[in-house]
Structure 1
Amino acid sequence: MDSFKQFDTLDVSEFEKEVFDLPEHGQNYFEIMYILNGSGTHSLNGHKMDYAAGSVFLISPGDRHTFLIASRTHFFAIKYTEGYALFWERRGMPNVAKYTDRMMANKFLKERQLQFSDIAGRALAGVIANIRAYEPRSALSSSLFIFHQFQSILSLIMEQQGDFMEQEIPQKVTVNEVLHYIHRNIYLPDKLKAKKLAAHFHVSENYFGTFFKKHFHIGFKEYIDRVRYPLIKRRIDSGELRMKEIAAEFGFSDTSHLFVFRKRMEQ
């Protein structure tokens, strides 16, 4: 099964298709898929759900999904990593990761057609329109306006699906939990060693390495580097911090090691 990867904390895309040409696949990011128009079927983890204009689907790392299009469909996708929620928590927005994790891990929400009242459906369509209209797209992940639109989508889902949000599902160690640990500790390099994660999840280091490679189709160290690099690049491009401060924030012993890392990632 194909596995798609995204290392930017937030990205949006929209596209129209008569045939969905992507095979059933997994991904390392969370996704809120909104149907602008069209009809067909969404298959998620073997569950098939019909869709039409206004339908919403939630996809998490570890899920597998694809679409079967019945009539030409205009898709709008909001794709984000856990680093997006943590970025805003570091800026004083509490419990963002907690609520997004809870929602996106809830099988009762993901494996069914979400229902919205007419009023809520119009409100959701308005929020999606705000995101589509926002410029520049390159500033999405750091935009407070876009963050509040994102929060509005989550709030509408919670408000309309409250009964399902109350159902707790026992979880074993999952891809989601591994990603949660990585993004929660992305600024703590000592905790981002395979040995530390193996101990945290009570497995051997060899088992953890095999598990990670199997599910992410990439080595653990390379994955960590590719998550850290966009965060570091954003700090450098903003000019708000000195290189010494950026190096310290991300656990580099000095700026020379940061320069070497940056050069290697940009090759």
Structure 2
Amino acid sequence: MGKIKQFETLIVEEVEQTSEEAPSEHGHNFFEIIYILNGQGYHYINKTALPYKQGNLFLLSPEDEHYFDIKEKSRFAIIRFTDHYFTQKRHLTTDETLVIHPTDLIRSQVLKENIITFNGPCSGILSNTIANILAYKCKVDLSDSAIIFYQIMTILGMVREELLRMDADLTNEQPSKERLLSYIHQHIYNPEDIQIKSIAGHFHISASYFSAYFKRNFSMSYREYVEKYKLKLIEKRIATGKTSLKQIADEFGFTDESHLSKYFKQKKNIRPTLYRKEHSQ
């Protein structure tokens, strides 16, 4: 799976694609608003298939992976921006405007599992707003335009109101690094509790977002961290000589002493009995 990178703060484009032209599943380092101008098919977001048609709107974050399965030639209005876009436009907003930060709104899990539908006047307002952005994209320094910024904020404001109408949870509270590590260290002896699905569920965030969040904050994958921490604890247990290998195997969820020995030899290139002997001297 590829990852598309964008270094410009803001890009607006109109794209028409057939099934043969559509990119395969991919991720990206930017936020994305996609409006369906016409056509139909399925939009796969983090493995979830959502049927799309004219007038549908999708919001994607850098943590998402997606692709379109186009059944009928489709035309998309695409707005791509980096997290720096809203930072540099802070002077154009008020605290009331940013009750929930735009990037937090886009990360809402409900947007990855449901199609947000706008009916009646709202549908027309959304369509006109998209048309305004496309008409104005000829401006050279698009990212500097306050007009474009307010149009984008209009779209996000409409999405927020629709999610509130659906009683969706918009808090998107992210666990602090301290809380996260505390939970991992506390449950390291219970493999089921530290599976990505379990820990993401504990902190009420999606599994795909959790993995990206962890890597962004700790500069390594979640699995890599757990593996290193677990191995470090096992090393200490073996080195002290106060705990039998069978007890260590039981403590860390290995099937038996042989399983532990095989794991340790694979990781440290030394048998645990020899490692204990070397470190007890």
1:127 aligns with 2:164: no
Return the offset for 1:139: 1.8
RMSD: 2.5
Gaps of at least 5 residues in structure 1 are: 180-200, 215-267
2:269 aligned partner: none
Q: Is the 8 A contact 1:5 1:28 kept in 2?
A: yes
2:14 aligned partner: 14
Return the offset for 1:174: 5.2
Secondary structure of the corresponding residue to residue 118 of structure 2: coil
Q: Is the 8 A contact 1:35 1:52 kept in 2?
A: yes
Q: Is the 8 A contact 1:85 1:97 kept in 2?
A: no
Aligned residues: 185
Return the offset for 1:137: 3.4
| 1:97-154 deviation digits (Å, cap 9, x = unpaired) | 9421221111112221111112111100000010011153322111011011011101
| 1:66-106 deviation digits (Å, cap 9, x = unpaired) | 001111100111001110000111x2423559421221111
Alignment CA distance shift 1:173-1:71 (3 Å): closer
Alignment CA distance shift 1:144-1:70 (3 Å): same
- In 2, distance between residues paired with 1:164 and 1:176? 25
Question: Map of 1:174-253 to 2, 5 A cutoff?
Answer: 175=212, 201=217, 203=218, 208=219, 210-211=220-221
Alignment CA distance shift 1:86-1:43 (3 Å): same
1:198 aligned partner: none
Identity %: 32
Secondary structure of the corresponding residue to residue 111 of structure 2: helix
Alignment CA distance shift 1:92-1:55 (3 Å): closer
- In 1, distance between residues paired with 2:13 and 2:213? 23
Q: Is the 8 A contact 1:109 1:164 kept in 2?
A: no
1:27 aligned partner: 28
Alignment CA distance shift 1:127-1:113 (3 Å): same
Q: Is the 8 A contact 1:37 1:73 kept in 2?
A: yes
Alignment CA distance shift 1:176-1:6 (3 Å): farther
1:166 aligned partner: 169
Q: Is the 8 A contact 1:26 1:61 kept in 2?
A: yes
Return the TM-score normalized by structure 1: 0.63
2:104 aligned partner: 102
Code of the aligned partner of 2:115: Q
Gaps of at least 5 residues in structure 2 are: 173-203, 225-281
Secondary structure of the corresponding residue to residue 161 of structure 1: helix
Secondary structure of the corresponding residue to residue 157 of structure 1: helix
Code of the aligned partner of 1:26: G
Q: Is the 8 A contact 1:158 1:165 kept in 2?
A: no
Alignment CA distance shift 1:132-1:177 (3 Å): farther
Q: Is the 8 A contact 1:17 1:74 kept in 2?
A: yes
- In 2, distance between residues paired with 1:142 and 1:161? 29
Return the TM-score normalized by structure 2: 0.60
Secondary structure of the corresponding residue to residue 141 of structure 2: helix
